Amino acid sequence: MKILITDDEAPARGELRYILEQLEPSLSCTEARNGEEALASLSHTQVDVVFLDIQMPGQNGLSVASSLLDLPDPPLIVFATAYDEHAVQAFELEALDYVLKPFNEKRLAQTLERIQQSLEDKTLLREQQAVLRSYLQKSQIKNLSKLWVELENENRILLDYAQIYWLEAKEKRVIAHTFENQYLLRYTLKELEDLLLEHGFLRVHKGSIVNLNHIAEVIPWFSGNYRLRMSNKTLTELDMSRRYAAQLKALTGWR
């Protein structure tokens, strides 16, 4: 059995390799330091199993898995992750195979048994790969960093978060402003505030949310308030109230 261990941490690769080779001395193990290296290796060398770390710089484990499944004869994939309750629940719900860090010899022995069964039963292997494809497709949709917006002709497009400079509530509608265009959204500012916080957006006024990456300048104003000059084509200025300025300072380390 040929195994490729993909992890950006050398001690983790070494530990996993040592345990696997102790459990099954006939194994042939190779290593990759990241997803790009793993894909390059597999473009000219076929393996039976790939152990994939989930959190890696560059392409993460899920992204690499998606690319592996496009190969003519995909390997069996086992995810490796530090304990993450949500990830573990997701893997168990989808019946995906995973191992936890730090690695446990008994757990890896069970994993090797399941691997051997899958490799011997091609029908079972294809079923597992189909389940993994379905899971990855759902994950990609869930992690989509785009919003549906409306054009003037009522057609809709998906607008990438990074293209949005600020969002404005106006006449009971919400407008997304980009570098030089505007789009209507069917969301409330409150919904957008919750959705976009982890993507670098922050509410700065009761009627506006800004993308922090597109602030060109902060201008002191009256009574502890500020004006935000955005980096769009017309350098639009937006009000930022004292209350929201305090949140911005706390989040960004502004002193």
pLDDT, the chain, mean: 88
pLDDT at 95 over 80: no
pLDDT of residue 143: 58
- Domain 2-142's class? alpha beta
Mean pLDDT of 104-112: 93
C-alpha–C-alpha distance, residues 14 and 139, integer Å: 29
Cα(4)–Cα(48) distance, integer angstroms: 8
Task: State yes or no: cis peptide before 25, omega within 30 of 0.
Answer: no
- How many residues are present in the chain? 255
Q: Tell how far CA 16 is from the center of its chain.
A: 25
Residue 84 confidence class, pLDDT cut points 50, 70, 90: low
Mean pLDDT value across residues 47-75: 86
**Residue 36 burial (10 A CB sphere; 0-12, 13-18, 19+):** middle
* Over residues 177-197, mean pLDDT: 89
CATH superfamily of 147-252: LytTr DNA-binding domain (2.40.50.1020)
Instruction: Convert the pLDDT of each residue in 119-141 to its tens digit.
Output: 999 888 888 888 888 877 776 55
Domain ranges within the chain, ordered by starting residue: 2-142, 147-252
Higher pLDDT, 187 or 24: 24
pLDDT at site 124: 84
Q: Return the percentage of the chain with pLDDT > 90, whole number.
A: 49
Q: What is the pLDDT of residue 10?
A: 94
- What's the pLDDT band for 83 if we cut at 50, 70, 90? low
- Residue with the bigger pLDDT between 215 and 198: it is 215
pLDDT at 62: 83
Contacts 24+ apart (CB under 8 A), 179-188: 179/232, 179/233, 180/232, 180/233, 183/149, 183/150, 183/151, 183/157, 183/159, 184/149, 184/150, 185/147, 185/148, 185/149, 185/150, 186/148, 186/150, 187/147
Q: What is the pLDDT of residues 224-249, one digit of tens each?
A: 899 999 999 999 999 999 989 998 88
Question: 184 pLDDT band (50/70/90 cuts)?
Answer: very high
